[in-house]
Structure 1
Amino acid sequence: MVTKDFTKDTKELIDNLKGICASYGLGNDGNEFKIITQVFLYKFMNDKFGYEVKQLEPKLKASESWEQEIAEYTDAQYEMLLMRLSPDSAQLKREHFLSNLHNKQNTEEFAKLFDDTLRDIAIFNNEIFSVKTGTGAKITLFDELSNYITDRSQRDNFCRAVINQLVNFSFEKIFHQKFDFFSTIFEYLIKDYNKDGGGKYAEYYTPHAVSKIMASILVDKPVNNVTCYDPAAGSGTLLMNLAHAIGEDRCTIYSQDISQKSSSMLRLNLILNNLVHSIQNIIQGNTLLTPYHKVGEKLMTFDYIVSNPPFKLDFSDYVADLDSKQNHDRFFAGIPNVPNKDKDKMSIYLIFIQHIMFSLSAKGKAAIVVPTGFITAQSGIEKKIREKLVESKMLRGVVSMPSNIFATTGTNVSILFIDKTNTKGDIVLMDASKLGTKIKEGKNQKTLLSPDEEDLIITTFNKHEAVEDFTVVVSYEDIKAKNYSFSAGQYFDVKIEYTDISPAEFETKMTGFKTNLDKLFAESSGLEIEIKKQLASLQFNV
């Protein structure tokens, strides 16, 4: 009940912050995203700091106001307290506390004090919380948020409204919660932000069911000290599910995404889910053109890779750079041609699949969302990739998902599972397209899988069970014989039902068939005569 009520209260806080933005002319503005997520993060960090120092100092925990109690510390005592915090914890000066801003909100130029406080927190924690770009520049935690209010006379009031909304709310009761709680909060927090003008967040968010299935199939036994990577990370939903399945303290996250907004979302997701130690590995940049994660001059390889790459995107500006001798091994199947029209329909996902295959460690595993058409294409780059997966004996299986599992696209999708240790075969091909319940989400139709259906997919796949009209378990030779098709339906047995009937029943059925045929032939003959008659009556009019 505590978590249910708190989830409700947290969503109400988010809605209230959005209401403040709307009141000051920022409703559905592109900058609203930055304000909401950064204010939310500031409040979370403030409360997490209070929670952690209370664990270190019993007298702070017993105090009615830990901020007032800590104000009595000498500078040396406070410095010692900061040194005792976890290396992954936010470091706050006493003037950074939310209570300090609340007490000073009636001072002149309060907006400047607000911005200066957030900027100083970012500088003070730059080494822990900064996201890097591909060139090494650092993207700090906070912007000067009041500057998004164009009317300077309203900036102080805006910042006061934000602070007053935060001061009556506390995260402290739920810091013992884990991924499932914060994933719900995070989903709600970002749900309205995709493009600059607002809208849905499909480019950043993979449905929970898809993420859960990918992680649960990849991580089918306990592992420790492993690396996890997403080359097109978005908000990090896939990585968070994967880390949760492994254990947040038993893995290190690596990512790259060309979008600064995505990188900021992923950073927030890592902070919420106790994965701060991986923030240094979040890179904003072009994965295909300038992959960042390397060991020396060679690309780094990873134990687990998850990806829901963009399917169609114009990358014609750097095709020549990708199609080079240097990239020959990485893009072994080739680069899609640049069409004369509709360059935005270039199949960029085929490049990502090849990059992922190249980036797997010797025992690496991967799960990739692909268009279902990929698994049966009879030529081109698609087939070359499938052939490579079979000939290199690194295919684990495919799950074909229900239509509209993504509400914002009508493209049917499948999940491709790769495992470099699956040399003996035993490949699972699953047709889960008939599962799920269709609902309306706005103007779009969406298919939802129930928890039982999610578990059915995961359990059946991991047990390598063959279930009639649902799964088949095949060998590499079986797949070669089917022209490298990864579609389960092409391997299902065609069943002919036999029914025992008597000679009299057989004769009755045959008589019925003959009678029906005679009737159809008679109708056909009459229709033929009528058509000829109509044709004969046609005349040419000048």
Structure 2
Amino acid sequence: MVEIEFQQKTKELIDNLKAICASYGLGNDGNEFKIITQVFLYKFLNDKFAFEIKKINPKLADAERWEDEIAKLSDDDFEMLKLQLGPDTARLKTTHFINHLFNQQNAADFAKLFDDTLMDIAISNNDIYAVVTDSGEKIRLFDRVSEFLTDVSKRDAFCRAIINKLGDFSFERIFTQKFDFYATIFEYLIKDYNSNSGGKYAEYYTPHAVARIMAAILVPEAQRGQIKNASCYDPSAGSGTLLMNVAHAIGENRCSIYTQDISQKSSNLLRLNLILNNLVHSIPNVIQGNTMLHPAHKEQGQLRQFDFIVSNPPFKMDFSDFRDQLDSKENKARFFAGIPNVPKQATDKMAIYQLFLQHIIHSLKATGKAAVVVPTGFITAQSGIDKAIRQKLVDEKMLAGVVSMPSNIFATTGTNVSILFIDATNKADVVLIDASNLGEKIKDGKNQKTVLKDEEEQRIIDVFNHKQVQDDFSVVVSYAQIQEKNYSLSAGQYFDVKIEFVDITPEKFAEKMKGFTDNLDSLFNQSRELEVEIKKQLANLDYD
């Protein structure tokens, strides 16, 4: 009941903030998502601070107004209290509290006070929360929110409207909840802002079914709680859906997240996702930049290698403006299968997923595992870079298997996709699953998408993890068999062809054959009659 109540209250808060933006002319504005997410985050950090500080000092928890009790502390006592906070909690001053701003809302230049408060929180906690670009520049947690409103005369009222919505409830009672609660809230928070906008670097929201399947196969139930100090990487992280699922499976305190994404919007959303999911310690590893051109995560001058890698890379994107820079001596090992050529037709897009897939293989530890979303055409292509990548995975025995997903599992693209599972330790059999017939078709706005039922998700996970063979659904094959099939990873090409035999007497057989013959004679007679009729009709046609 508590979780349902807080989901409702949280969604009401988000809707209220959107309504405020709309009433001040910022609805569907390019900056609306920054305002919504940053104000939501300010509220979240305040309540998290209150939750943690009350655990340290129970007297604060018993007080009717904890802010008033803190105000009674000396500066030294307050600082000592903050020193006991964990590393994932923002260090706030009393002037940063929502309660303080609420009491100051009638002051002159309230918008400036509101913005100054957010900026001071960002500066004070820059080492914890700043996202870094590939050139080393730090992107702070907050912007000056009121300045997104161009009408200066309305900024004070705009900020007053916001602060009046932030004190209606507290997140404190929900901080014991884990991923499932925050995944729902995060998706609701960003649902209008993380879609394919048609731009050059359009983000695609990875369906939770795909993310859950990837995590459950990479980290089977039996291994949970046993993995320690794991490094988890996504070179095209987006808002982090895949990584959150893997981190949840491993345990947030047992892994560190490493990411890179060219989109500033995605990097900011990912930072928010890490904060919501107790992964603040990984924020310094969030890099905004071009992974292919400037891979940021290195050790001793070499690309860092990781325990787990997950990715839903872009399938088609024009990278001709930096394609030739990739074709260098230092990239020979990374792009072992080659770099796509610039298409002859300007409208054709380049298969950038081929670069990401090679980068992932090169970035995987010898004991590492990876799961990558690829277009289904990749698993059967008989030439070029796709086949060369498959050959490496098979010949070097570092493949776990493939799951071919139903069409329209992504509502935003009609491309059929498969999940490629790489496991450098799997030297035996490979699992191939054809899940293309699973799921239910539903409308998602103007698009149609396929939704898997819980039991269908579990079927895929169980069949893969237990290497089960099911008729017309899954096969378990050797590396030698894959080589014999010209490196095809399509499950259907390995299914047995079954011929059904029916026990029948000679008399019954003769009767059936006579029935077939009589039926054919009837059809032939009809055909001859139609032929005569057509010729008659043609003879009656005149040129006029």
Query: Is TM-score (shorter-chain normalized) higher than 0.5?
Result: yes
Which piece of structure 1 moves more, 139-148 or 407-416? 407-416
Question: Conserved in 1, the CA contact under 8 Å of 2:196 and 2:202?
Answer: no
Q: Name the structure 1 match of 2:118.
A: 118
Q: Name the structure 2 match of 1:47.
A: 47
Query: CA offsets, 1:393-450, max 9 Å, x none?
Result: 11110111111111111111111100000112x1110011111111111111111111
C-alpha change, 1:29 and 1:195, in structure 2 (3 Å) is: farther
Question: Conserved in 2, the CA contact under 8 Å of 1:404 and 1:445?
Answer: yes
Query: CA offsets, 1:159-202, max 9 Å, x none?
Result: 00000000112100100000010000000000000379899x98
Q: Name the structure 2 match of 1:390.
A: 394
- After superposition, residues 484-503 of structure 1 pair within 5 angstroms as 484-503=487-506
Give the deviation of 1:522 after TM superposition: 3.8
Alpha-carbon distance in structure 2 between the residues aligned to 1:198 and 1:380: 29
Q: Name the structure 2 match of 1:30.
A: 30
Give the deviation of 1:512 after TM superposition: 1.3
- Residue 468 (1) aligns with residue 471 (2): yes
Give the deviation of 1:306 after TM superposition: 0.2
Question: Conserved in 1, the CA contact under 8 Å of 2:195 and 2:204?
Answer: no
SS at match of 1:166: coil
- Residue 322 (1) aligns with residue 326 (2): yes
Alpha-carbon distance in structure 2 between the residues aligned to 1:404 and 1:204: 13
SS at match of 1:339: coil
Alpha-carbon distance in structure 2 between the residues aligned to 1:202 and 1:409: 12
Q: TM-score, normalised by structure 1?
A: 0.96
Question: Which amino acid in structure 2 is aligned with residue 512 of structure 1?
Answer: G
Give the deviation of 1:95 after TM superposition: 0.7
C-alpha change, 1:329 and 1:312, in structure 2 (3 Å) is: same
Question: Conserved in 2, the CA contact under 8 Å of 1:226 and 1:250?
Answer: yes
Q: Name the structure 1 match of 2:192.
A: 192
Question: Conserved in 2, the CA contact under 8 Å of 1:437 and 1:448?
Answer: yes
Alpha-carbon distance in structure 1 between the residues aligned to 2:197 and 2:157: 24
Alpha-carbon distance in structure 2 between the residues aligned to 1:402 and 1:195: 21
Query: CA offsets, 1:135-175, max 9 Å, x none?
Result: 11000000000001111000000000000000112100100
Alpha-carbon distance in structure 1 between the residues aligned to 2:63 and 2:87: 25
C-alpha change, 1:274 and 1:158, in structure 2 (3 Å) is: same
Query: CA offsets, 1:367-414, max 9 Å, x none?
Result: 001111111111111111111111111111011111111111111111
Question: Conserved in 2, the CA contact under 8 Å of 1:428 and 1:472?
Answer: yes
Question: Conserved in 1, the CA contact under 8 Å of 2:90 and 2:125?
Answer: yes
Q: Name the structure 1 match of 2:486.
A: 483
**Unaligned ranges ≥5, structure 2:** none
Q: Name the structure 1 match of 2:273.
A: 269
Q: Name the structure 1 match of 2:142.
A: 142
Question: Which amino acid in structure 1 is aligned with residue 521 of structure 2?
Answer: D
Identity of aligned residues (%): 68
Query: CA offsets, 1:215-246, max 9 Å, x none?
Result: 00001223111100000000000000000000
- After superposition, residues 334-349 of structure 1 pair within 5 angstroms as 334-343=338-347, 345-349=349-353
Q: Name the structure 1 match of 2:405.
A: 401
Alpha-carbon distance in structure 2 between the residues aligned to 1:412 and 1:204: 14
Give the deviation of 1:510 after TM superposition: 1.1
Give the deviation of 1:267 after TM superposition: 0.4
Which of 289, 292, 301 is 2:296 aligned to?
A: 292
SS at match of 2:164: helix
Alpha-carbon distance in structure 1 between the residues aligned to 2:540 and 2:395: 67
Q: Name the structure 1 match of 2:377.
A: 373
Q: Name the structure 2 match of 1:242.
A: 246
- Residue 173 (1) aligns with residue 177 (2): no
C-alpha change, 1:394 and 1:198, in structure 2 (3 Å) is: closer
Q: Name the structure 2 match of 1:443.
A: 446
Give the deviation of 1:525 after TM superposition: 4.7
Question: Which amino acid in structure 1 is aligned with residue 186 of structure 2?
Answer: F
Superposition RMSD in Å:
1.9
Alpha-carbon distance in structure 2 between the residues aligned to 1:294 and 1:373: 32
Question: Conserved in 1, the CA contact under 8 Å of 2:71 and 2:94?
Answer: yes
Q: Name the structure 2 match of 1:410.
A: 414
C-alpha change, 1:537 and 1:480, in structure 2 (3 Å) is: farther
- Residue 279 (1) aligns with residue 283 (2): yes
Question: Conserved in 1, the CA contact under 8 Å of 2:320 and 2:342?
Answer: yes
Q: Name the structure 2 match of 1:99.
A: 99
SS at match of 2:400: strand
Alpha-carbon distance in structure 1 between the residues aligned to 2:255 and 2:294: 24
**Unaligned ranges ≥5, structure 1:** none
Question: Conserved in 2, the CA contact under 8 Å of 1:28 and 1:198?
Answer: no
Query: In the comparison of the two structures, how many residue pairs are matched?
Result: 539
Alpha-carbon distance in structure 2 between the residues aligned to 1:31 and 1:114: 17
Query: CA offsets, 1:4-46, max 9 Å, x none?
Result: 1110110011000000000000001110000000000000000
Give the deviation of 1:521 after TM superposition: 3.7
Query: CA offsets, 1:241-297, max 9 Å, x none?
Result: 000000001101000000011000000000000000000000000000000000011
Q: Name the structure 1 match of 2:367.
A: 363
Q: Name the structure 2 match of 1:87.
A: 87
